[in-house]
Structure 1
Amino acid sequence: MTSRPGVLAPDPLTLADVEERARAVLSPEVYDFVAGGSGGETTLNANRTAFDRCHLVPRVLSGADTADTTTTLLGVPASMPVAVAPMAFHSMVHPDGEPAVARAAATAGVPFTASTLAGRPLDELSRADGDLFLQLYWLRDRARTEWLIDEAERLGARALIITVDVPFMGRRLRDLRNGFAVPAHAAPVNLADAQRGVGQSVGGHAAAVIDPTLSWSDLEQVRRRTRLPLVLKGVLDPADARRAVDLGADGLVVSNHGGRQLDGAVPSLLALPAIREEVADACEVLLDSGVRSGTDVLRALALGASGVLLGRPVLWGLASGGEHGVTGALELLRTELEVSMALAGAPDVAAAGRLGVRWAPGTNEREEP
């Protein structure tokens, strides 16, 4: 966002405004790394199209003059049905990195998910006075994988979120064209020294450290090893959702990795209703990929999600204003959600889940009652 000399730029009114502020301060290659998707970015764009085609059916005469956004996510109280999604390399967008995001999440009253590829140690992130989830990639170094699980338990993490849709990185053409590599100041410190990948391409680094042979039997071992709530992130098929529940998963994240893995994969929002129908109330069902407003959160709730993981907008807030920028982005999202819920006649999160939706013509999804 630009402004005339001597004229203070207005406060952002939408998360798109936050992104524009971030774009103005980031190098083009770093902006592309965060914003981009894989392949021709078909799925990246389809995520947004799905939200735009999902129309809420508001209820009237609810008798409520406010909307209560509070809820619980994986047993953790939250001020709204939102958690910060796991994302790598925070320090490449702002020197304060993950600790600033963790503190902002604590201030906002939402859980923060630390990535395996975080640039700061887990014990530092656990001191943010908020609720911590750990996202886990299945590493070739099994001893390091087990150490991360044990460390999460020791530090009081509230859930373990295993990403299951990255046997290797999708072909992210923006990064390839830009020659983007893992920056030294944002290197993943929770990996062994030799695995931090400084100077490698992101795809090359992932191939070196992530084990593509992760299977259901490995997840069974994790389930036996840890007492933490176990969540699988990257599920799009109802059959996989059912198998995860049968294995003992406590939660699922319906996700196509923000359009960064299989280009052409179904938009997460379109996959959500069938997965919720398959698992019913057997586990929590969260959603990510494409959430850009409080109305998007409400749409996800109406389609059966317990809540959402918010990704790129958090990094845009961090880039444009550090901890204060993330706090502002989360507060903006909460304001939008409160207004959308009130206008839809949903006085609380449970009522939001009972709203109907109608899909725009041409959307390959059945209408919800």
Structure 2
Amino acid sequence: MRQNAIYRAGVLGRRPSVPTDPERLERRARRAMSARARAYVGGGAGRGETMRSNREAFGRWRIVPRMLHGVTARDLSTTVAGTHLRAPLLLAPVGAAGLIRPNSDVAIATGAAAAETAYVFSNQGGDPMEHTARAMGDTPFWYQLYWSTDEDLVDSMIGRAEACGARALVVTLDTTMLGWRTQDLDLGSLPFARGEGIAQYTSDRRFADLVAERIAAPTGRPPTTVTLGAIRTLLAMSRAHPGRFLDNLRSPVPRASVETFLDIYSNPGLSWDHLATLRGRTSLPILLKGILHPDDARRALDLGVDGIVVSNHGGRQVDNAIASLDALVAVRAAIGPEPTVLLDSGIRTGADVFVALALGADACLLGRPHLYGLALAGADGVRQVIENVIAELDLTMGLVGVPDLASITPDVLVPTRP
């Protein structure tokens, strides 16, 4: 057990390099980050009301342990959207993690694999998905998709995700435009405008074609084969040496790459009609991330998707939005017990996961905490954060008296008084 390992190491004078307390973890990680990383990772939309609501929602429920239950072993394993999970926890996709450390996505994948925990690769990653997939080894991973305005790029991203072994496709719905992120705005800092967090694009052949078209546009002639080849070569070099790419943002190809990304990365006109085409474009299980309204949940399931992720993007998109946990209760009541539902936004501890499962989630996505672990101790920091959350979930189940996830029902909770 994780707890016993920490205590035994403590006898020898060794303490965890990553705090187990979530508030202390965040404080220490923020001190280790640059101002731009703190703003991007820790900031939310507007005044941050949605971020606060995400945490306050967990405070509206209390766990009721039962005594003398005789439960001595727990089974945390589950299968979600066809993927077997060690525990009902996945790492959420977070873009531009390279603000924290170089090769961040590969480091996160290394930590996730060490903890045998699935990772949802970010569409806005700092490492190409193929590199990150290699770091996962045999541990399953999913791929997050932002729906571009270029449909051929959408197909290219999906095809690459399938080819490198993704087990599911997670389409993020709530970021067709960036939210009003005041901490980033006050620094004038958008990572993607600096070429950070666009490695999925610069590693993509279709994106290289779009860059070539942009460069050739002033001449009125289509890009030549030589031009295309040169651009693809330069973009390939950028993947191996991202620092050199960033140092030359005023050069034609890097500048055109950033401008092309900013023009096409997401689709403000994304609609249900777009989503209706998805089943014919991939064989992977499909989950829609960003659902908060019961009617949207019903419509998503009517489209035949394999699951939904109730999420407000960690409070980063709409200020004063409904807390994800509150939305989960309404969504599960509307769609019944059978459809697959995951929860994202506000998860910090194993006890949080327990509450979310009791209210109807099949699994949870862990976002900011794993980045805090990355900031403090790299890949091993990611592993430690995961192990801490899973260990607390296991202990909570044991102390409450539930032997498996199916036994975590609403009966183990009571609402707090207003």
Alignment TM-score, normalising by the size of structure 2: 0.80
1:206, CA displacement in angstroms? 5.6
Distance in 1 (CA, whole Å) between partners of 2:103 and 2:57 is 34
Contact in 2 for aligned 1:249/1:283 (Cα 8 Å): no
The aligned counterpart of 1:180 is: 189
The aligned counterpart of 1:169 is: 178
CA offsets, 1:248-305, max 9 Å, x none? 0111100000000111110000111121122224421000111010000000000010
Contact in 1 for aligned 2:97/2:197 (Cα 8 Å): no
In structure 1, runs of 5+ residues without a counterpart are 1-6, 363-369
1:59, CA displacement in angstroms? 3.0
CA offsets, 1:146-186, max 9 Å, x none? 10111111222100000011120110001111121316573
Alignment TM-score, normalising by the size of structure 1: 0.90
CA offsets, 1:76-118, max 9 Å, x none? 1211100000111122111231011112112212211111111
Letter in 2 for 1:49: E
1:190 match: secondary structure: helix
Choose from 320, 333, 342 the match for 1:264. 320
The aligned counterpart of 1:35 is: 42
The aligned counterpart of 1:189 is: 199
The structure whose Rg is larger is: 2
The aligned counterpart of 2:59 is: 52
The aligned counterpart of 2:168 is: 159
Instruction: Select between 280-289 and 153-162 the one with higher mean Cα deviation.
Output: 280-289
Distance in 1 (CA, whole Å) between partners of 2:367 and 2:332 is 22
The aligned counterpart of 1:80 is: 87
Change (3 A) 1:310 1:229: same
1:350, CA displacement in angstroms? 1.1
Distance in 2 (CA, whole Å) between partners of 1:22 and 1:207 is 33
The aligned counterpart of 2:149 is: 140
Letter in 2 for 1:180: S
Contact in 2 for aligned 1:245/1:282 (Cα 8 Å): no
CA offsets, 1:26-50, max 9 Å, x none? 1122112101100111111110011
More helix by share: 2
The aligned counterpart of 1:92 is: 99
Letter in 2 for 1:250: D
The aligned counterpart of 2:381 is: 325
Instruction: Select between 42-51 and 20-29 the one with higher mean Cα deviation.
Output: 20-29
Contact in 1 for aligned 2:150/2:264 (Cα 8 Å): no
Letter in 2 for 1:337: L
In structure 2, runs of 5+ residues without a counterpart are 1-12, 202-206, 215-234, 236-244, 250-254
Matched residues, percent identical?
Answer: 39
The aligned counterpart of 1:251 is: 307
Letter in 1 for 2:272: W
The aligned counterpart of 1:217 is: 273
Distance in 2 (CA, whole Å) between partners of 1:16 and 1:326 is 16
Contact in 1 for aligned 2:309/2:342 (Cα 8 Å): yes
Contact in 2 for aligned 1:169/1:206 (Cα 8 Å): no
Change (3 A) 1:10 1:146: closer
Two-structure CA RMSD over aligned residues (Å):
2.3
Contact in 1 for aligned 2:103/2:127 (Cα 8 Å): no
